Amino acid sequence: METTSGGLLPRVVIVGGGFGGLRAARALRHASVRVTLVDRGNHHLFQPLLYQVATAELSPADISAPIRGVLRRQRNAEVALAEVTGVDVDRRQVSLHDLATRRDRTLDYDYLITATGAGTSYFGHDDWEQFAPGLKTIEDATAIRRDILLAFEAAEAKGAEGATQSPDLLTFVVVGGGPTGVELAGAIAEVARKALVSDFRHIHPADARVVLVEAAPHILATYPVALSERARRKLERLGVEVRTSARVESIDECGVIVDGERLAARTVIWAAGVRASPAGEWLRAPTDRAGRVLVGPDLTIPDHPEVFVIGDTASASQDGAPLPGIAPVAMQQGHYAATAIRRRIAGERAIPPFHYFDKGTMATVGRSFAVARIRRLSLSGFLAWALWLGIHILFLIGFRNRALVLFQWAWAYLTYQRGARLITHLAAEARVPATIPRP
């Protein structure tokens, strides 16, 4: 069995507590190693349901779990609340800034698993971020929720004053027709037409305009065209304007310019692209055009077989096509990296190259409707939605979260109500629409 030069158990450092990092940590629970999981947040986030926090169907705690709580019974694991500032691959050290003590320190490792995920890409237009927030974190979701609800409050205030309504107040533009954009647009339409329809006295929330903008010819571009069209028709029945083959040229505080046409809107949400974490810079490893680290068939970087890169941080291909940046890929890669480490420590034969088993993809489009591609099978409608619901409940961490989310979904299904309609950080952070005077 492999040990360090001092006779101690090998140390595995995992950077990132998302799907890939957490799966790797748990897969090492019976291994003769010391695991340290580093994350700058203290919680694991179930990101596929983040849009439901942004649209007030779920609360942040419903889709999050404290990392220490998840690993509390794993005796060989510890957690560091810290931000990685660099990696010395020659000395096998990770440089950290401890977020609790605000001190810098280093961690030695024998094996490193980098699972730092991805952020939002504005394709070279980072100035758009202030006007069109992305959706990657709990903070993003609660800020978007606040902006959506504030838009209705601002319109209500104008209505109470007897002022002429500005159409842009209740115009919501979602940029990006992938699963996140489709799910967001459908959920916002349902909030306006169902959940809020009786809450206001001077406006009609159902008059809200929701526009989904996608540069490609079809929304859900990775799905079969037939499923894409079904999703589009469902969105249009919900009242969403779907604009495909439409290129965003500019975004400012007054709205969006799409193919030369201005869409006046006070609430714009960006769901169009992702950018890699700085892991490639830390590791001094080759990257692709998006900044993702180019990894070998065993998910390691050149000349450093002890360094694994997984999930959205990695650029990996299979059968000549790049692997998608989705949770199942990250989870399978995390399990693979842990298995490879276990085998090396035990002196066993090397593990075969990583192979992703595609179990399918799915996206929900409003109430009781989803589209799903499961290998060669295409599904849509209520059956796909029920399957989507069951799989998401299954993969949520913790019985409490599963029970709470199931109850919230059942309540929303039966009553159309959403209990998480909270406007937080109003005084300090809210972006008050320009048509409403600031106090």
To the nearest 10°, report the CA torsion of 114, 119, 121, 126: -120
Q: Please count the other Cβ atoms lying within 10 Å of the Cβ belonging to residue 125.
A: 14
- Note whether 171 and 263 are within 8 A (CB): yes
Beta bridge partners of 315: 294
Question: Residue 87's closest CA among 299, 274, 277, 288?
Answer: 277
Active site residue 161: no
Q: In this structure, which amino acid lies at residue 332?
A: Q
Cβ burial, residue 90 (10 Å; 0-12/13-18/19+): exposed
What's the CA gap between 196 and 152, in Å, rounded?
A: 9
What's the CA gap between 24 and 20, in Å, rounded?
A: 6
What's the CA gap between 416 and 409, in Å, rounded?
A: 10
- Note whether 211 and 246 are within 8 A (CB): no
Non-local CB neighbours of 19 within 8 Å, separated by 6+ positions: 47, 311, 327, 330, 331, 334
Non-local CB neighbours of 357 within 8 Å, separated by 6+ positions: 332
- Note whether 270 and 147 are within 8 A (CB): no
Strand 111-114 and strand 11-15: pairing? Answer: parallel
State the number of CA atoms in the 13 A half-sphere of 72 facing the CB: 7
- From 83, 153, 156, 183, the catalytic residue: 183
Q: Which residues of 262-273 are buried (b: 16+ CB within 10 A; e: fewer)?
A: ebebbbbbbbbb
- Note whether 103 and 85 are within 8 A (CB): no
In 3-state terms, what secondary structure has residue 171?
strand
Give the residue numbers marked as catalytic: 183
